[in-house]
A and B are shown apart, each in its own frame.
Chain A
Amino acid sequence: DAGVTQSPTHLIKTRGQHVTLRCSPISGHKSVSWYQQVLGQGPQFIFQYYEKEERGRGNFPDRFSARQFPNYSSELNVNALLLGDSALYLCASTGPAGELFFGEGSRLTVL
C-alpha cells in the first residue's frame, strides 16, 4: 500500500509569490495534518482536517490556509511568501489508533 504522498518534493519561489502543496493520505485514512519544519527544529503543527472540516489550527498567520477534498487529499496554500516561510512542509495522515504517518515532505525555498 502506498504511504502518504506529497508534491512537489522541492520548489523555489520568490518573496510575495503564492505556493500550493499537495498531499494524499494513506488509503482509508480520513484525517490529514500539516506541519512546518524549519532547519534545526522539530516540526510545528499548522492544520488538521477530518472529513473535509478543519479540526485544528496552529499559531500561523492567515497567509496559511488549507482544505481537504472529498477523496481526503489535501492542499496547503501559502500567500505572500516571506523568506521565513522557507522550510520543509510535512503532511501526515492519522491511523486508526491515532498514530500519525508522515510523507516525505515538500521542501520550499523562498528567495
Chain B
Amino acid sequence: GIQVEQSPPDLILQEGANSTLRCNFSDSVNNLQWFHQNPWGQLINLFYIPSGTKQNGRLSATTVATERYSLLYISSSQTTDSGVYFCAVRAGDYKLSFGAGTTVTVRA
C-alpha cells in the first residue's frame, strides 16, 4: 500500500512563529487531506488539496503531486494551534492512508 511520511515528528514553537510541516507519499494520489486533531481526539478538516495551493487564514497548503509531497504552513502560530497534524492520502481505492502525524506545541 501507499506509504505516507510526515516530518518533523515533533515541533515546538514560540507563539507568533511560523512553521512548515511536510508530507511525502510513495505513489500517485487522487485525494490528499490535512487534518488537525484536537486534544479531545476530533479530526478537524484543514484542507482537501490533491494538487495546487490553498489558503485559509493563517494556514496554507501546497501539494506538488508530480513530486509526491505536500506542505502545510502555519503562520503567526497561536497556542490554539497546538495538537497533532495529520496528512492523509488516497491512491485510487476507497481508504485514506494516514501518516504518523506531527505533534505541534505552541508556547505562550
Which DSSP category, helix, strand, loop or mixed, fits chain A's interface? strand
Partner of A42, one of B90, B93, B98: B98
7 contacts between A and B (CB under 8 A): A33-B94, A33-B95, A43-B88, A48-B95, A56-B95, A90-B41, A100-B88
Tell me the count of chain B residues lying within 8 A, CB to CB, of chain A. 23
**Shortest distance from the beta carbon of B49 to any chain A beta carbon, whole Å:** 10
Q: Which of A28-45 contact B (CB under 8 A)?
A: 33, 35, 37, 41-45
Given contacts A41-B100, A98-B90, A100-B33, contact A88 B95 (CB under 8 A): no
Question: When A and B form their complex, what is the total count of cross-chain residue pairs whose Cβ atoms lie within 8 Å?
Answer: 58
B96, A45: Cβ atoms closer than 8 Å: yes
Contacts of A33 in B (CB 8 A): 94-96
Let me know if A12 is at the binding interface, CB within 8 A.
no
Q: Contact: A99 with B33, CB < 8 Å? A: yes
